[in-house]
Chains A and B, each alone.
Chain A
C-alpha cells in the first residue's frame, strides 16, 4: 500500500486581527507595515492535511507563491502540521499575477513535487480581496477532480478512494450535507467550518507525537524548505505574472451559494395547528431531497 501523499496550497495574508493592521494616510492598507501571517482559510486547509498525517501517516508538502518573507508563514504551517516539505515559489516575474496566473505557478510547482499527489488542499478563499478562484483553477490546470466546501473526509488508502462530506445548498435550503465518493487524486477546497475530529486513542497519541515532531522540525524549517523560481518549476512565462493575467479585480463579492429563494413565515409556537402544518411542510420538502 502506497503512502498517502498530500499537498496544501497556502497564502500569506495581512494579519487583520486587532492592533496588527496598519493603514496608509489615504485609508488603504499599508502592506509593508502590516504583519503577514498564514491566512485563516489556509490554516484550515493545513489542519485538514494534518488529519491525513494523523490517520494515515501521510506525507505533507506545503507550497505558496510569494515574496521571500513568506517563508516564516511556511514555518508556521509546518508547526501546525508537521509538514515534510515546504516550497516557496518566488520570482520577480510572478508579480502582478491574478488568480489564473497564480494557479499556473502552483500547478507547475505541484507537478515538480516529489511523487504524485493524492490530494491537494486549498482554503475556501483568502481574506484579503480574493475571489475563491485560485483553488478551482489550480485543480482545473492539474486536471484533478474538484471537491469544494468539504467539511469532512475519510481516505481509504487501499482502494485509493476518498469519501467527503460537502456543505451544499439544495432547493433553497442551506447547509445540506452531501456525501460524495471519488477515486484519488482529488483537489479539495476545505470549508471554513471544517474541524478535524480525533476520536480514537491512537489518533490522539499520533497527534501528540506529530506535534512534538512539528515543534522540532519547525525550529530548523529551512532544512525542509525549497525556494524555487519560475525556471526551476518550469512555468510557462506566457502564463504567469502580469502577462498571464487576463483579469483585474475591481470588486469582490462573497462566494455565492446561489440566491436565496426562501420565504420566511412566522409561526406561533403555542398554536398546535400551526406547528402541525409546518411539520408537514418540512416533511414535504425533505422528501424531495436526496441525502445520503
Chain B
C-alpha cells in the first residue's frame, strides 16, 4: 500500500489552503477532490474577506497566497455596501459600507470555479516538490484504522495510508458522518443558499453601478422579497457577471416551504434588481417555414453562430483589459475598428436574419448549496482521532448582519490544521491529545471563534447607528425598548452592552425572526421608501431550463437513497429541492438524482453521499 504523510479530503478553498500551507512547511500531502477538476463542485456568494481583528490574528488569503493581490484572481474589491428594505416597488436603502469595512483589510467578490483553480496553481508546484499533489475525480468513501495505520479508501484508486487527515469536505461532510465525529447538521443549524450568475459586460456594469475598474458594489435585500422567510437576498458585482442569490434559514423554509428558485425569481423581478441586471439581448427572428428543411437548418445554425460572435466580441469590447489586449496582439488596429465591426455584425443580425434587440437579462448559471450557521453548529471539538475538520465540514460559517463569512474562516482553519499536522509530523505523534487537542485549542483562539460565540459590540453599534433614523413606531412592541435605546447615543451604547450580557443563545430568538427580516423592512419601505420602476419585465427561465443549462457527468447509480418516502420532511423536499429532484408518487416521494446539484438540503433524512469521482454537477462559474 502506498503511504503519504497527510491526506486532505476536499479541494474547496479550505482544503487547498491546507495543501498550500503544508507544502510550504515542507510536508508531503495529497489532496483528494471528488469533482472532475478543482473548482467544479464549489459555489459561494460570495465575498471573500481579509480581516484585521482588534484582538488576535487571522490567517488571511493574501498571507497564504503571496501573489493574491498582484495576480488578482478575484473579481472586484467591494467598495460600496448597501442594504435595501423592499416592499413591492418601494425601496428604502441604508448604506452599510462602514459595516462592510469593519475590521476588514478588504472584501472582494469571487467566483469559486476560477478562484479555486488559481489556488490550485499556487499550491501544486510546492506540493509536488514534497512528493504530494492533487488527485481530482476521486471520491473518498471510507476511512479506517488498522494496525496503527489510517487507511483512506476511495471509489477510484487503490487504498493509501496516511499519518494524519484534514477533512475539508464541505458542509455535507461524509467523513464527519461516517466516523461519527459529528451528527448531520439539522435544519435549524443551516441556511440554504441559491444563486444565479448573470452576465453583464464590464464597462456597462461600471457605469450602471457607478464603480471604477477595481471597485465593486454589494446590494443586500430584506423585506417582502424574502416571501416571509428568515434570511435575505444579495447582488454582488463580479468583473463581467453579477451574482444574485438568496440565503434563507432552512428551518424557516421547512416551516412554510417555497421553491428556492422562486426566492431567487422574486429578487430578479424586484424592479430595482431587474433594472440593475438588464442588458441588450438579441432575439431570433422567425424562419420562413416554406424554405427547404436543410435551408432552415442552415439559417438556424448561422444565427446561433452570429449571436455567439456578437456576444463574445461585445464582451471583449466593453472590457478595457480585453480591448487593449486585442489591439496589442494586432487583432484590431484600434478600438474604433472593433466598434465598427461590432455595429456591422449587429446590422447584419437585423437585416439579414430579421433579429430584434430587446431589453432583458442573461442568466449563465444556477446553483445551490447549504451554508452552516456556525453560531449554532460549529464543532466544539473539530477532530476525531487523527482527523482534523476545517471550514464548512466543521460547521464554521459566520453570519453577522447581512455578512456571510465562510471562505475566510475555512482558510484560517485550514492553516491552523496544517500547522498542527506539521507539528505532529515533526514529533511523529498523532495522538488526539497531541494533534487534535492542539488544533482544537488553536481554533478556539481564532478571532473567528470569538465572533461565533459573542456579538461584537462595535460592529453592532455600526448597525444601530445606521438605523438611527428609523421611526420608532414602525417596530412593534417587541422591539420597543431596543428602539427607544437606538434613538439616543448613550442608550445605544447601553443596548450593545445589554446584548452582550444576554449572549447569542438568548438574543438569537429575538433578532432572527420574521419580524426583523420581513415585517420591519417591509414597513420601512412602505413608509419611507422611494418608488422604483423597471423598463421591462425579465424573462425568467423555468427550473427545467436552468437545469438543462448545467453541466453534469451523469451517473447511472444514485448517490442519494430515500429512506422515509412518506415522512413530512421528505414531502417538503418536493418543494425545497432547488432543482426539483423529488416527485410525489403513489407510494411516497421518489428521487430523480440526475438533476441533483448536491446542495445537501435533503441530507437530513436520506442516505446521502457525494457522487463518485468525476460524476454529478460540474459548475463553470461557482
Contacts and interface: CB of A to CB of B under 8 A. Distances in A.
Interface of A: 199-202, 204-205, 208-209
B157 A205 contact: no
Given A199-B156, A199-B157, A199-B158, A204 B128 contact: no
A37 B348 CA distance: 35
Nearest to B158: A200
A288 B134 CA distance: 48
5 contacts: A201-B2, A202-B2, A205-B133, A208-B135, A209-B133
A154 to B, nearest CB: 15
Contacts of B2: 200-202
Interface string B19-45: 000000000001000000000000000
Contacts, number: 30
A205 B158 contact: no
A201 B156 contact: no
Given A200-B158, A208-B124, 16 more contacts: A199-B158, A200-B2, A200-B157, A200-B160, A201-B2, A201-B4, A201-B30, A201-B157, A201-B160, A204-B135, A204-B138, A204-B157, A205-B30, A205-B132, A208-B133, A209-B133
A204 B133 CA distance: 9
Interface in B552-595: none
Contacts of A200: 2, 157-158, 160
Nearest to A208: B133
Nearest to B127: A205
Nearest to A200: B158
A208 B160 CA distance: 18
Nearest first, the 10 A-B pairs at minimum CB distance are A204-B135, A205-B133, A200-B158, A201-B160, A199-B157, A201-B2, A199-B158, A202-B2, A201-B157, A201-B30
Contacts of B157: 199-201, 204
Contacts of A201: 2, 4, 30, 135, 157-158, 160
A161 to B, nearest CB: 23
A204 B30 CA distance: 11
Contacts of B160: 200-201
A291 B443 CA distance: 59
Which of B128, B133, B156 gathers the greatest number of chain A CB atoms within 10 Å?
Answer: B133
Contacts of B135: 201, 204-205, 208
A10 to B, nearest CB: 28
Nearest to B138: A204
A209 B157 CA distance: 18
A51 to B, nearest CB: 16
A72 B486 CA distance: 73
A199 B2 CA distance: 11
Contacts of B30: 201, 205
B156 A205 contact: no
B297 to A, nearest CB: 14
Nearest to A198: B157
Interface string B122-158: 0010001000111100100000000000000000111
A96 to B, nearest CB: 40
B348 to A, nearest CB: 22
A205 B2 CA distance: 12
Given A201-B4, A201-B30, A208 B134 contact: yes
Contacts of B158: 199-201
Interface string B147-173: 000000000111010000000000000
A208 B138 CA distance: 14
B138 A209 contact: no
A209 B128 contact: yes
A199 B156 CA distance: 7
Contacts of B133: 205, 208-209
Nearest to A207: B135
A208 to B, nearest CB: 6
A204 B160 CA distance: 13
A199 B138 CA distance: 10
A18 B128 CA distance: 40
Q: Which of B124, B135, B156, B158 has the most CB of A within 10 A?
A: B135
Nearest to A202: B2
A193 to B, nearest CB: 20
A204 B2 CA distance: 12
B502 to A, nearest CB: 51
Contacts of A209: 128, 133
B36 to A, nearest CB: 13
A18 to B, nearest CB: 13
Contacts of A205: 30, 128, 132-133, 135
A56 to B, nearest CB: 16
Contacts of B124: 208
